[in-house]
Each structure stands twice: as C-alpha cells, then as structure tokens.
Amino acid sequence: MKHTSHKKTIISTEKAPKAIGPYSAGVSTGHLVFTAGQLGIDPTSGKMVEGGIQEQTRQALSNLKAVLEAAGSGLEWVIKTTVFLQDIGEFKLMNEVYGTFFTKEFPARSAIQVAALPLRAAVEIEAVALLPEV
C-alpha cells in the first residue's frame, strides 16, 4: 500500500493565550485544524477573566476563534467542539454564551463535567474545524 506524505502545521497567534504546557494552540493537517482546549484567559494579561462561567465561556470562544483564524479557518468551519465544564450545573449559562458564537449550521458537540480544569477554570473548549478551500 502506498502512503502519501502528510505535513502538519503548528498554529500560534498573539491573539490567544500562550500555551501553559508543552503543546500547541492548534495543529492543521490536510483539510483539518485541531485546537487545544481554550480557557477563559485574557491573552493580553495572561490571567483568567473576572466573572464566572459566562465571562470565561466568552473569552474561551474568543480565544478559539483567534486560533482558528490564525490557521486560515474560522468558527463557521467548526465541525465538532468539546466543552469541559467544572460544574455541569452551569451548562445552561455556558450554552447561552455558546449560542451567540455558533448561530447556524451548528457543529457537533459534546459537553462533559470534569473533576478539575487547569488554573481552576470553569470551562475549557476545544474544536476540530475544516480548512476552507482557497
């Protein structure tokens, strides 16, 4: 069987927080972009935004958008998200903000409660998106 060579491209941007570990903000290969989980960290200050789940969701999705755009994609090309919640009881509050970022042709989504998130975050969101044909 013949295998074709595939290349991966590391994605980074100053418009999203720097990685807090040995990972990339995103990686693209072929027609797909895979993002790391994004927290509600303000990329300018490097600190978690003040407020609760809704403020953190808004910032996490803004960071996700910045990573996708740096890759040449965008929120409209997202095919799957995974939302990690510190408290599943805040699902409705997260969803209210999420619905302002994804308004049509919704991506598939999983939302799960986890024991803890980095920096004691309330939410972390990752995505898989298409790279549109140029």
C-alpha of 125 from chain center:
4
What would the pLDDT profile of 42-65 be if each residue is shown by its tens digit?
999 999 999 999 999 999 999 999
Range of the domain at 34: 8-130
Distance, CA of 92 to CA of 90 (rounded, Å): 6
Q: What is the mean pLDDT of the chain?
A: 93
Question: What pLDDT, on a 0 to 100 scale, did the predictor assign at position 134?
Answer: 54
Q: Is 108 within a domain? A: yes
Express as a percent the part of the chain with pLDDT over 70: 96
Burial (Cβ within 10 Å: 0-12, 13-18, ≥19) of residue 5: exposed
CA distances from 51 to 2, 58, 100, 114 (A): 53, 11, 18, 20
The count of domains in the chain is: 1
CATH of residue 33's domain is 3.30.1330.40
